[in-house]
Amino acid sequence: MSSTPILQSQFLRYFVFGFAFPLAFLLMFTLFAQNGYSAQVTLAWSPNTESDLAGYKIHYGTTSRAYSSHIDVGNRTSYTVSNLQDGRVYYFAATAYDTARNESGFSSEVRYNPPSPSAKFKIWLEAERGFLQAPMKTASDGIASLGQYIWVPDGSGNNSNPGYGGYAEYVFDVPVAGQYVLWGRVLSNNGSNDSLFVSMDEASYMLWTTQITTTWTWDRANNWAVADPVYFNLAQGTHTLLIEQREDGTKLDRLLLTNDLTYVPQGTGDIERAKIWLEAERGFLQAPMKTASDSGASSGQYIWVPEGSGNNSNPGYGGYAEYVFDVPVAGQYVLWGRVLSNSGSNDSLFVSMDDANYMLWATQISTIWTWDRVNNGVVDPVYFNLAADIHTLLVDQREDGTKLDRLLLTNDMNYVPQGVGDPGGTKIWLEGEGGTLKAPMRTASDSGASSGQYIWVPEGSGSNSNPGYGGYAEYSFDVPVAGQYVLWGRVLSNSGSNDSFFVSLDNSGYLIWDTLISGSWVWDRAINRDVADPAYFNLTAGTHTLRIEQREDGAKVDRLLLTNDLSYVP
């Protein structure tokens, strides 16, 4: 009988689900506009080596592990599933079958949420985080974003030939195809230092004449005497931006690419500091990677490949820990690990993000638990450009005896974790439309909503006085750290007749959440009417389910946040 496939996935990049079976599936997700913006998912995989293999089946649906559809794809090694709804979460799994029609068990599951083509996105890039080619260099300024900017210093000389000067190069992901503009936070204080060359995806260079000002200013990229602003028609996927010197002395602090053509950035731009904490032992562990106990570790446990189990020189073939997590805001992230490596023979791990090439992380040597930022031997630290989406991290054994307690991904480059890490730093963001929706709960569009969409039971559909019997949105999420959490929602309830929901966590009893009444989107902390304000949820580390159910029609929800930081206000 054919063995169970390993399902892997890609949405702009690869997500690895490295289970120990010989067959590896690669799900390559692509989104395209056709007949009302339907989405399609292209699957490609390496063939199984078993002699009696007859074919494969792809199973999918909108409920985890309850697949409503399947496709027998025969013995081919790629297939495209079409006509998926934008804004609906889909779950995929695969099985293999042999010549006797014996079928394997389900593979690991892949979750995919096609973004809406009408959604608005902001892709922020810190200027100094690109690849810099001299004489382009970093300099410091206390009022620049993160305190740094890039320039070719005054006096270095101008460059009249694009393609031959110093430059900054940025690689970024576009979640939805469309027309984008490029903004830069610039400081050009006279007419002799107010221009740069710009090229997108190796297209012809354009001459960006920046605004002249004595303070940092947001300026939209133009092509002098040709177009102001320049519109970039970008396909979904990975792109490369080059900012090259023209006049020395031109300063660049930060960049923004957005398909929201009415948006004008202010100050240093949107900076939502994200800290994503992962308990090492909460990942999926593949032997010989295992859990062990230490009272000095966070939650009293850590992971390792025990001393004497043997080293692994081939990344992708050893024991590992796998983590699937959500990034709430796109940008550049660093990865920290709380490690204990007491000698040069047990101080390294392999690391892969979203099925990219493995890097060798040489951890700090210490006799006590120490926070160490992931490096790649050559680059220290490593920067991960992450889209606001689901990602997968693999930590693979290299030298046995290397201990790992906790992980942190953050876009706050100045933050240094201490002790066991921030126990009150967990923020679990959920897009309203990203849940499983039961009618009459539905998705609607609003340019003022996060990602351009929200959920509601439309006005006039009728209210529901019996919790458990109405339309709802249901979300499955992982809690990395046990503790007391509160629930926030970005809501719009403009009268007393459309300002309430039923809320249930893990199928417990329902509470009534009377939301704030406002004429605009506001953040409101969930209450339990006449019982508790706010409502506190005691959550264990692990997977949980949240249900937001209709009570009064017309109440709108844009985004949700569960956090154990009880002082945080989104």
Please tell me the number of Cα atoms within 13 Å of 104 on its side-chain side: 28
Fold matches, 122-258 and 275-422 = yes
Burial class (CB in 10 A: 0-12, 13-18, 19+), 424: middle
Q: With contact defined as beta carbons under 8 Å apart, do 435 and 501 qualify? A: no
Which tokens is 192 given? 């002799």
Claim: this prediction has a pTM higher than 0.75: no
Q: Which of 488, 477, 441 is nearest to 88 (CA)?
A: 441
Radius of gyration of the chain from its Cα atoms, rounded to whole angstroms: 25
Instruction: Report the C-alpha gap between 69 and 67 in whole angstroms.
Output: 6
Which tokens is 261 given? 């053509």
Q: Has domain 122-258 been given CATH number 3.55.50.30?
A: no
Residue 231: what residue type? Answer: Y
Q: Which of 438, 541, 539, 420 is nearest to 487 (CA)?
A: 539
Q: Return the pLDDT at 115.
A: 62
**Domains in the chain: boundaries:** 6-112, 122-258, 275-422, 428-563
Specify the CATH number of the domain 6-112.
2.60.40.10
Q: Give residue 37's Cα distance to chain centre.
A: 23
Which tokens is 11 given? 């949405």
Instruction: Tell me if the bond preceding 117 is cis, omega within 30° of 0.
Output: no
Q: Which fold has domain 428-563?
A: Jelly Rolls (2.60.120)
Q: Which of 248, 225, 229, 78 is nearest to 158 (CA)?
A: 248
Q: Return the pLDDT at 11.
A: 26
Q: What is the mean pLDDT of each run of 10 residues along the chain (570 residues)?
A: 44 24 34 41 70 89 83 84 73 85 77 67 90 96 88 94 95 88 97 97 97 96 96 91 97 95 88 81 93 89 94 92 83 93 95 94 95 92 85 95 96 86 78 91 89 90 90 88 88 92 92 92 92 87 90 95 84
- The CA-atom distances, in angstroms, between 215 and each of 207, 263, 326 are 22, 21, 36
Name which CATH class applies to 275-422.
Answer: mainly beta
Instruction: Report the C-alpha gap between 405 and 301 in whole angstroms.
Output: 7
Instruction: Report the C-alpha gap between 168 and 148 in whole angstroms.
Output: 14
Q: Return the pLDDT at 12.
A: 22
Instruction: Report the C-alpha gap between 496 and 478 in whole angstroms.
Output: 34
- The CA-atom distances, in angstroms, between 119 and each of 320, 336, 473 are 36, 32, 19
Q: Return the pLDDT at 42.
A: 67
Instruction: Report the C-alpha gap between 396 and 375 in whole angstroms.
Output: 14
